Structure 1
Amino acid sequence: MSSDNILEARGLSKEFRGFHAVKEVDLNIKRHSIHALIGPNGAGKTTCFNLLTTFLRPTTGVIRFNGRSIEKSNPAQVSNMGLVRSFQISAVFGTMTVLENVRIALQQRKTRWSYQFWRSQHVLRALDQRARELIDLVELTPWLDVKAANLSYGRKRALELVTTIALDPELILLDEPMAGLGHEDIEPVTQLIQRVAQGRTILMVEHNMKVIAQLCDRVTVLQSGEILAEGTYDEVSTNPAVVEAYVGGADE
């Protein structure tokens, strides 16, 4: 494994009763980059993403994170290694405030109290300063004491991202971070991802090509479970094979 790469896949395949959803995929995700995984409907993006995050076991192939094979690990194990994913559907505790949500994530990563949510207020307040710093990073300070269920959808996505950051990951995998956002929320979330990416690596599945053009250093295009093209956004967007693959179909 190259020291420049934080995540690598070699010969990655997933078969479902004779159907190859992903077939012989090789990936190199460079450290401190933003890398996109795109493709038309049925390309295998979601399956590949679930393999890389160990929510699925590959039929064949190897996945290495920081040089360590993880294809037989589970999501909790790889999270503790520093590989954390977010989901297409916002996943926050709706009945808890913004501060409480971030504090729970800090509790899991930074203290010996992991998964013990119900601590005394005195003990939990030790995490408040760092929680407030992270909340300020995503510009949610005015909503510090607002319950997550009462936030706009865009702010819920920002909260989900900051709880992901609170786990202190080296690599963040984002599953369609713009999904469900109104037009007015796309640019703020794009800028948020740019800030979050400082000193980290991000791999994202995303259908918004304008966002990919703005954010991503490198793009991998899948078609029918195989890599069709890879390069910068300008390179893949003008690749005749990629243009042909998208003609007549909408992206996921």
Structure 2
Amino acid sequence: MAQPTTHVEERPRGGGTATGATGQDIVLSTEGLTKEFKGFRAVNGVTLEVTRGTIHALIGPNGAGKTTCFNLLTKFLTPSAGSIRYNGRDITGMKPADVARLGLVRSFQISAVFPHLTVKENVRIALQRRKRGDSFDFWRSETVLRALNQEALELVEAVGLSDFADIPAVELSYGRKRALEIATTLALEPEMLLLDEPMAGMGHEDVDRTAALIRRVSANRTILMVEHNLSVVASLSDRITVLARGQVLAEGDYATVSKDPRVVEAYIGAGHG
């Protein structure tokens, strides 16, 4: 398995509350999760448990089934077999918007960034979405909208964009646009945040900044992320699930899975050596 090349400061992280039959407080779980496309099983019998209050990474070589699994968990795909439970509730047949209302939110799922609106205005629109359901209420008075400014600015500060609050989103660097997208997602008050390759396309500076942001926003919520940057995975994750050929290959902390011979073989065989 390739070793991390980008430096991200490592920090110990705590686990979930010890409750339930598994000895931990499980917020999201699957059993036998399967997705078949015309006879090909992209995800094959995946059983997964994500502990509340942790950062859990889903990794694997190209073609491992990570994206398909992630899309099943976030309800963008319907399973061929198996089940998904969130806070003990079966959500297998639910729609993405309904799951989001329960507090399970995929970043960039609902939070569109409007390029010619300012950072603050983008976050304010997301707050409108949370408070008013499916209506953005563009026609509401400026006085009513200004009442959301304080909360919007608090979210802008939380993701490190205070200096850019009045800057149009189109003028932000790529990394800061991702931070803005996370801010608009946080406006929905998610209990669990799902991140699909949050570091994709970023330079070292933006990677470090976004990793620090993920640490901050994980303080009072659970995060599941698909990520290719192994340095980020090593630094941030409490637990890692490795997929290969649509199945769970290994699971544990980074020190454990990175030394697993099956994981090393899977990554080297896929050209990641």
Q: Does the alignment reach a TM-score above 0.5?
A: yes
Asked whether the equivalents of residues 108 and 182 of structure 2 are also in contact (C-alpha less than 8 Å), the reply is: no
TM-score, normalized by length of structure 2?
0.88
State the partner residue of 2:13. Answer: none
| AA partner of residue 115 (structure 1) | S
Shift of residue 97, structure 1, vs aligned partner: 0.9
The runs of 5 or more residues in structure 1 that have no matched partner are none
Shift of residue 117, structure 1, vs aligned partner: 3.6
Q: Tell me the alpha carbon deviations over residues 187-233 of structure 1, each in whole angstroms, 9 at most, x when there is no partner.
A: 11100000000110000000000001100000000000000000001
Q: Does 2:151 align with 1:130?
A: yes
| AA partner of residue 199 (structure 1) | N
Find the aligned partners of 1:85 and 1:113 in 2 and give their Cα distance.
Answer: 17
Shift of residue 248, structure 1, vs aligned partner: 4.2
The runs of 5 or more residues in structure 2 that have no matched partner are 1-19
Find the aligned partners of 1:161 and 1:107 in 2 and give their Cα distance.
Answer: 16
Structure-2 change in CA distance of 1:84 and 1:113 (3 Å): closer
| AA partner of residue 85 (structure 1) | R
| Structure 2 residue corresponding to 1:162, chosen from 180, 183, 186 | 183
State the partner residue of 2:206. Answer: 185
> What does residue range 89-100 of structure 1 map to in structure 2 within 5 Å?
91-100=112-121
| AA partner of residue 237 (structure 1) | S
Shift of residue 87, structure 1, vs aligned partner: 4.2
Find the aligned partners of 2:133 and 2:49 in 1 and give their Cα distance.
Answer: 35
Asked whether the equivalents of residues 87 and 176 of structure 1 are also in contact (C-alpha less than 8 Å), the reply is: no
Find the aligned partners of 2:92 and 2:75 in 1 and give their Cα distance.
Answer: 6
Q: Does 2:43 align with 1:22?
A: yes
Q: Tell me the alpha carbon deviations over residues 54-82 of structure 1, each in whole angstroms, 9 at most, x when there is no partner.
A: 00000001100111111111111111110
Q: Does 2:141 align with 1:120?
A: yes
Find the aligned partners of 2:142 and 2:112 in 1 and give their Cα distance.
Answer: 24
State the partner residue of 1:244. Answer: 265
Give 3-state SS (helix, strand or coil) of 2:178's partner.
helix
State the partner residue of 1:104. Answer: 125
> What does residue range 228-243 of structure 1 map to in structure 2 within 5 Å?
228-243=249-264
TM-score, normalized by length of structure 1?
0.95
State the partner residue of 1:225. Answer: 246
Give 3-state SS (helix, strand or coil) of 1:115's partner.
coil
- Between the two proteins, what is the percent identity of the paired residues? 60
Give 3-state SS (helix, strand or coil) of 1:181's partner.
coil
